[in-house]
Structure 1
Amino acid sequence: MRITGYRTLSTVQEWGRPVGDANGVFADGTVPVPMILVTTDAGLTGVGLGPGTDAETVFAALDGEDPRAVTALYDRMLRQTFKAGHTGAVFGTIGAFDTALWDIKAQAAGEPLWRLLGGRDRRVPAYASGLDIGLTDTELVAVYEEYAAHGLRAAKLKGGLDLERDRRRLTLVRDVLTDAARGTPPALMLDANESWSRKQAVRHVCALERTLDLTWVEEPVRRWDAEGLAAVGRGIRASVAGGENLSGLEQFRPLLAAGALDVVQTSAVWGITHFLRVAVLAHAHDLPVSCIGSTPVGLLHAATTTPNHLAAELQHLRPPLGLHLDLRIENGAFILGDTPGLGIRLDEKTIRTPASLAVGGGTNVRPESAGLRLLPAAVTE
């Protein structure tokens, strides 16, 4: 079997409400979902969710190769981008190709990827993550009531702009999930999306911890600030989580060496091979790993084989338009199906092409005032 070609495609995730974080909000709730499709001479097509930046350059490492040699081809793609570097969106393209190759490999074997990788249990624990900073209190409660109805007993809220607003919203969600669990307290997390300085992070979180029990605080300072993340971790009770924006195994080394992370995260768009390698590195440091992303289906399969996997992020309860996934949400977990490969079926007739894939606005642009605020900021600054 040989790789014969690829094509890029895009659809959207329609939230039907504002979504965003401390860096900005997509007011209409419509978020682009790019993907790469890889074709073979055996008639199998693999699907990988992620960007197509410099896809032609990256594909040169795959053209004509046997797609089942996935891990070797992953390293070949890294070498293909050696001079310009593989960070950022190019790393996402490598991840999308990598995910598509794993999809093909499992399809060729006639097995769901979780079983091909050696998984025993198709259940992957989840936590709710509503990208909810733009919601009113009433909207916030309604959103997390829906998560609770699917058995979710852990939640991560977006925050970092206003201490008292964060306290109120975390308390509301805590009460919703506690009621649903008949009195059992939930796990609560806060994601600041790199919006604080070191001292701001410690002051903000310590103030919250006077009345709330936080499981982790995510990206309190810049993603690469090993000393800063470690300092925050020493100053608060909650764990420090991060890593979803680190594009390359080498970027984790200084953070783990500095004891900067308590929960190691990796993004779905960076691919399955990257996740597996990061998970092993984290395991060697006795740290848990967690999947992050809007549609983390590829990493869910890999998580079933990862002894230190903690929980996967569950954002939208429904897939992007035109994608049908062989999984369900039940009793607070993703339940993977038996369809060979990733279990993604693409219906191009129902795909809605986004108006624009240009980066700009929403959560993609860091505010000038991030880490420099003396007073609480407006949610949509």
Structure 2
Amino acid sequence: MPLSQFRITRFQFARDRVIGDSQVRADDVNVAALELVTEAGIVGLGFIQTLFHPLPDQAEIEAVFENEVWPSLKGQEAIALVHRVNRPRGGNQRAFSLPFHEALQVALWDLAAKEVNLPLHTLLGSRRDRVRAYASGLDFHLSDDAFAALFSHAASIGYSAFKIKVGHPDFSRDLRRLDLLKEVVPAGSLVMIDPNEAWSSKEALMKLTAIRDAGHELLWVEDPILRHDFEGLRTLRHAVNWTQINSGEYLDLSGKRILLENHGTDILNVHGQVSDVMRIGWLAAELGVPVSLGNTFLEIGVHMAAALPEVEWLEYSFQNFDHLVDTPIEIRDGYAYAPDRPGHGLVLSEVARREWARPSRLQRSELGPAPENSRLPPHLG
């Protein structure tokens, strides 16, 4: 059915804990729901998100979307749009003024799958309905006590793989965090680290060697050096043969292709842009490079993870987003389960629309208490 209208609902609320890494820190959520509606009333849902600065007022988001995006969607069929290939030229080669790209892909794929009455992962060619999830703390700014409590809880509910943030100016702090993690998770657990580009290539080699010599085995190190240092990444891959390089998170579709062509990663990290993920996932499969799904809003990435070959891991970070939808993605005993409902299976909660919508931008001090995080005990939120 042709697209006939869109709805945007702006949300802004406090996080239940400070999240971040060696480069960034955030303690609030700035997101808007994008709903694309067909003439038959079928709704496709995506989310527009900014990490560090509030979105403009809802009226401004709607005006920008109507001007920059809607003319290319109105009257079109979602199932045709998801496969469309554009060749931008000149002034047409530019980003939207607001971060609509991922939300648009997710909403269109949600609609396309609903129109053929299939779960999204089935439409994408899934081989299974679940994928292993690893516990990721986004923990750089947590105290040692909060860090230990978070990962201890993750271990207690069935996680067997854990990723922590490193890259502190004081390297002894990174080593202390690894020691602390070892104390609170079961022996034999898998461990990943993520410096978020904090190191140079030579520095990364020295610090990874020191981590190994301190008795810590790593499944992978994620984004150890600058994203475009393809030569450094390739050299590091060969130098640290006791672990793997996971990279690509910060690169767009073209950048990921160049990364693969330069043999700069052992594992390709992708996120929530459905069309982009499937396209680069095809190339990664051709080259025999495994793919991991990094954080995706409300774990929508489980659908791509279930569909792509050689995807073993999906990142889960215990963020307090679940109240935005009626039925969140199920995560149980260290696995994320792809819903068997048509589309991606997420429907915007009318309670959230009524109680948490914030049409106008608020100051951080005006946000009030954080929404309850149903996946964490109260003392960890």
Which category of TM-score, normalised to the shorter sequence, fits these structures? 0.7 to 0.9
Task: Specify the alignment match of 2:269 in structure 1.
Answer: 265
Deviation at residue 320 of structure 1 after TM alignment: 4.4
The verdict on how the C-alpha distance between 1:327 and 1:253 changes in structure 2, with shifts beyond 3 A counting, is: closer
State the alpha-carbon separation in 1 of the partners of residues 97 and 264 from structure 2: 25
- The one-letter code sitting in structure 1 at the alignment partner of 2:192 is M
Which secondary structure does the structure 2 equivalent of 1:18 belong to?
strand
What is the CA deviation profile of residues 211-263 of structure 1, one whole-angstrom value per residue up to 9, with x for unaligned ones? 21111111111112211211222332321111122122x21232222211111
State the alpha-carbon separation in 2 of the partners of residues 87 and 152 from structure 1: 38
Aligned pair partner of 2:100 in 78, 93, 96: 93
Contact 1:3 1:66 in 2 (8 A): yes
Aligned pair partner of 1:140 in 130, 144, 147: 147
What is the CA deviation profile of residues 36-69 of structure 1, one whole-angstrom value per residue up to 9, with x for unaligned ones? 2211111011111235796332333222111121
- The one-letter code sitting in structure 1 at the alignment partner of 2:80 is A
Task: Specify the alignment match of 1:108 in structure 2.
Answer: 115
State the alpha-carbon separation in 2 of the partners of residues 89 and 206 from structure 1: 43
Residues 108-257 of structure 1 aligned to structure 2 (within 5 Å): 108-161=115-168, 162-178=170-186, 183=187, 185-210=188-213, 211-236=215-240, 237-248=242-253, 250-257=254-261
The verdict on how the C-alpha distance between 1:84 and 1:212 changes in structure 2, with shifts beyond 3 A counting, is: farther
The verdict on how the C-alpha distance between 1:152 and 1:23 changes in structure 2, with shifts beyond 3 A counting, is: same
Residues 41-52 of structure 1 aligned to structure 2 (within 5 Å): 41-51=39-49
Aligned pair partner of 1:58 in 69, 92, 100: 69
Task: Specify the alignment match of 2:338 in structure 1.
Answer: 336
Task: Specify the alignment match of 1:9 in structure 2.
Answer: 9
The alignment status of 1:302 with 2:304, answered yes or no, reads: yes
- The one-letter code sitting in structure 1 at the alignment partner of 2:208 is V
- The one-letter code sitting in structure 2 at the alignment partner of 1:207 is A
Task: Specify the alignment match of 1:32 in structure 2.
Answer: 30
Which secondary structure does the structure 2 equivalent of 1:304 belong to?
helix
Which secondary structure does the structure 1 equivalent of 2:20 belong to?
strand
The verdict on how the C-alpha distance between 1:256 and 1:296 changes in structure 2, with shifts beyond 3 A counting, is: farther
State the alpha-carbon separation in 2 of the partners of residues 89 and 296 from structure 1: 24
| Between 101-110 and 319-328, the greater mean CA deviation after superposition | 319-328
Aligned pair partner of 1:345 in 344, 347, 354: 347
Task: Specify the alignment match of 1:376 in structure 2.
Answer: none
Which secondary structure does the structure 2 equivalent of 1:60 belong to?
helix
Q: Show structure 2 runs of 5+ residues with no match.
A: 50-60, 364-381
Contact 2:137 2:150 in 1 (8 A): yes
Deviation at residue 34 of structure 1 after TM alignment: 3.4
State the alpha-carbon separation in 1 of the partners of residues 361 and 203 from structure 2: 35
| Between 146-155 and 31-40, the greater mean CA deviation after superposition | 31-40
Task: Specify the alignment match of 2:83 in structure 1.
Answer: 72
Aligned pair partner of 2:291 in 254, 267, 289: 289
Contact 1:218 1:240 in 2 (8 A): yes
Deviation at residue 145 of structure 1 after TM alignment: 1.8
State the alpha-carbon separation in 2 of the partners of residues 356 and 260 from structure 1: 41
TM-score, normalised to structure 2, is 0.82
Q: Show structure 1 runs of 5+ residues with no match.
A: 359-381
Deviation at residue 102 of structure 1 after TM alignment: 0.9
Task: Specify the alignment match of 1:373 in structure 2.
Answer: none
What is the CA deviation profile of residues 340-372 of structure 1, one whole-angstrom value per residue up to 9, with x for unaligned ones? 2111121211334398599xxxxxxxxxxxxxx
State the alpha-carbon separation in 2 of the partners of residues 327 and 106 from structure 1: 17
- The one-letter code sitting in structure 1 at the alignment partner of 2:103 is A
Task: Specify the alignment match of 2:369 in structure 1.
Answer: none
What is the CA deviation profile of residues 80-131 of structure 1, one whole-angstrom value per residue up to 9, with x for unaligned ones? x8635356976x5222111101111222222221223332421121111111
- The one-letter code sitting in structure 2 at the alignment partner of 1:66 is E
State the alpha-carbon separation in 1 of the partners of residues 197 and 222 from structure 2: 8
Task: Specify the alignment match of 1:365 in structure 2.
Answer: none
Which secondary structure does the structure 2 equivalent of 1:340 belong to?
coil
State the alpha-carbon separation in 2 of the partners of residues 153 and 357 from structure 1: 39
State the alpha-carbon separation in 1 of the partners of residues 107 and 270 from structure 2: 18
Alignment size in residue pairs: 344
Deviation at residue 326 of structure 1 after TM alignment: 4.2
What is the aligned-residue RMSD (CA, Å)?
2.5
Which secondary structure does the structure 2 equivalent of 1:17 belong to?
strand
- The one-letter code sitting in structure 1 at the alignment partner of 2:47 is L
The verdict on how the C-alpha distance between 1:196 and 1:33 changes in structure 2, with shifts beyond 3 A counting, is: same
State the alpha-carbon separation in 2 of the partners of residues 212 and 286 from structure 1: 27
Deviation at residue 17 of structure 1 after TM alignment: 1.7
Which secondary structure does the structure 2 equivalent of 1:223 belong to?
coil
